[in-house]
Amino acid sequence: MQIITEPALMQATAEKLRLHRQRIGVVMTMGALHEGHLSLIQQVRSVSGTVILTIFVNPKQFGPDEDFHRYPRPFDQDAAHARAAGVDYLFAPSVESMYPEGFQTSVRAGSIAEGFEGMKRPGHFDGVVTVVTKLLQITKPHTAVFGEKDAQQLAVIRRLVRDLNIDVEIVGAPIIREKNGLAVSSRNIYLSGEQREAAQVLYMGICHARREIEKKRTDLFGIANEIERMIAEEPGFRCDYVAFVDDELFVPAETAEPDKKYRLLLAVYAGNVRLIDNCLFTA
Ligand code: AMP
33, 40, 41: residue to mutate for ligand 1 pocket, most atoms within 8 A of CB: 40
Q: Which residues contact 210 (CB under 8 A, 6 or more apart)?
A: 279, 281
pLDDT tens track, the chain, 283 positions: 999 999 999 999 999 999 999 999 999 999 999 999 999 999 999 999 999 999 999 999 999 989 899 999 999 999 999 999 999 999 999 999 999 999 999 999 999 999 999 999 999 999 999 999 999 999 999 999 999 999 999 999 999 999 999 999 999 999 999 999 999 999 999 999 999 999 999 999 999 999 999 999 999 999 999 999 999 999 999 999 999 999 988 999 999 999 999 999 999 999 999 999 999 999 9
* Ligand 1 contacts CB of residue 173 (under 6 A): yes
* Closest of 19, 85, 24, 89 to residue 53, by C-alpha: 89
Which of 37, 81, 124, 142 is flagged as catalytic? 37
Q: Within 13 Å, how many C-alpha atoms sit on residue 146's CB side?
A: 17
CB 201 within 8 A of CB 230: yes
* Ligand 1, atom 12, residue with closest C-alpha: 147
Q: Which fold has domain 186-282?
A: Pantoate--beta-alanine Ligase; Chain: A,domain 2 (3.30.1300)
In the reported structure, the alpha carbon of residue 36 is separated from the centroid of ligand 1 by a whole-number distance in angstroms of 6
* Ligand 1 contacts CB of residue 209 (under 6 A): no
Nearest-Å Rg of the Cα atoms of the chain is 19
Instruction: Report the DSSP pairing between strands 143-147 and 169-173.
Output: parallel
Q: For the chain, where do the domains classified as CATH 3.40.50.620 start and end? A: 2-173
> Is 142 marked active-site?
no
Q: For the chain, where do the domains classified as CATH 3.30.1300.10 start and end? A: 186-282
Rounded-to-integer distance, Cα 29 and Cα 73, Å: 11
Rounded-to-integer distance, Cα 60 and Cα 185, Å: 20
Looking at residue 248, its pLDDT comes to 82
Rounded-to-integer distance, Cα 279 and Cα 166, Å: 28
Looking at residue 92, its pLDDT comes to 98
**DSSP code string of the chain:** -EEE--HHHHHHHHHHHHHTTPPEEEEEE-S---HHHHHHHHHHHTT-SEEEEEE---GGGS-TTSSTTTS---HHHHHHHHHHTT-SEEE---HHHHS-TT--------GGGTSTHHHHSTTHHHHHHHHHHHHHHHH--SEEEEEGGGHHHHHHHHHHHHHTT---EEEEEPPPB-TTSPBP-GGGGGS-HHHHHHTTHHHHHHHHHHHHHHTT--BHHHHHHHHHHHHHTSTTEEEEEEEEEETTT--B-SBPPTT-EEEEEEEEEETTEEEEEEEEEE-
Looking at residue 105, its pLDDT comes to 98
Residue 32 phi, psi (nearest 5): 55, 55
Q: Give the residues across from 205 on adjacent strands.
A: none
Written as one letter, the residue type at 79 is: A
Within 10 Å of residue 15's Cβ, how many Cβ atoms? 11
Within 10 Å of residue 134's Cβ, how many Cβ atoms? 21
2-173: CATH, from 3.20.20.70, 3.50.50.60, 3.10.20.520, 3.40.50.620: 3.40.50.620
CB 107 within 8 A of CB 164: yes
